[in-house]
Amino acid sequence: MGFVSVLSFVHQLLAQRVQPGDAVIDATLGTGVDALYLAKLVGRRGRVYGFDIQPEALDRSRQRLEKELPAEAAAAVELHLRSHAEMEAAVPPDRHGQVAAVTFNLGYLPGAESAVITQQASTLAALEASLRLLRRGGIVSIVLYTGHEGGSEEAAAVEAWASELPLAAYQVLRYQFANGNRTAPYLLAVEKR
């Protein structure tokens, strides 16, 4: 039957923790896969805050959301052309400490012409911001790619950051395929206790 894929495992973790009406964040919109999944979980009374620094990512995400969702559910998604490192400025203050989930897919936008990749400094700043925004029981999912240039350095920095999170406040889980393709994407998930 095969083990559950990294993407499916992330979506299982989200489905177990995100309720209708919740506020959630897609920190790296890309083509909008996670934003769409989150929008379905939170519904029209919820809110998805999506971030990407590439206009193409916002376009592709908007197209996906409008195609796959009823208009009122798509309206619950805010797309921000802005670095995820600035997410706290974009999420209303009354949602701080209330966010149920933040998703990250590090690396680059699949199929994009430009070679824009996530950068270690802004990634770490965004991860720190995510933990501040999260509610207890909320999770940050981080899918790491090491196949592109700079990818393994970024992954190492995120690994070091995650491994130092205090166990009293956070639990970090690794879900990773461990044979064959050495650059297969893998997951670090952080739950706030």
* 176 near a copy of itself, judged by CB under 8 A: yes
Q: Yes or no: say if 59 and 138 are a contact pair by the CB < 8 Å rule.
A: no
Q: Which of 13, 32, 18 has the alpha carbon at shortest distance from 77? A: 32
Please choose, out of 48-56, 67-75, 116-124, 185-193, the segment that lies near a copy of itself by the rule CB under 8 A.
185-193
The residue within the footprint of a copy of itself, chosen from 73, 85, 140, 189 (CB under 8 A), is 189
Which string of DSSP letters, residue by residue, matches 69-121?
A: S-HHHHTTEEEEES-GGGHHHHS-GGGTT-EEEEEEE-SB-TT-SS--B--HH
What's at 84, amino acid-wise?
Answer: H
How many Cβ atoms are within 10 Å of 72's Cβ, its own excluded?
A: 10
Least Å from the CB of residue 107 to a copy of itself: 20
Least Å from the CB of residue 162 to a copy of itself: 6
Lay out the site mask for a copy of itself across 136-165 (x = CB under 8 A, - = otherwise): -x---------------------x--xxxx
C-beta closer to a copy of itself: residue 47 or 192: 192
Q: In what helix (H) or strand (E) does residue 65 lie, and over which residues does it extend?
A: helix 55-68
* 67 near a copy of itself, judged by CB under 8 A: no
* 167 near a copy of itself, judged by CB under 8 A: yes
Residues binding a copy of itself (CB under 8 A): 1-3, 13, 16-17, 137, 159, 162-167, 170-181, 188-189, 191, 193
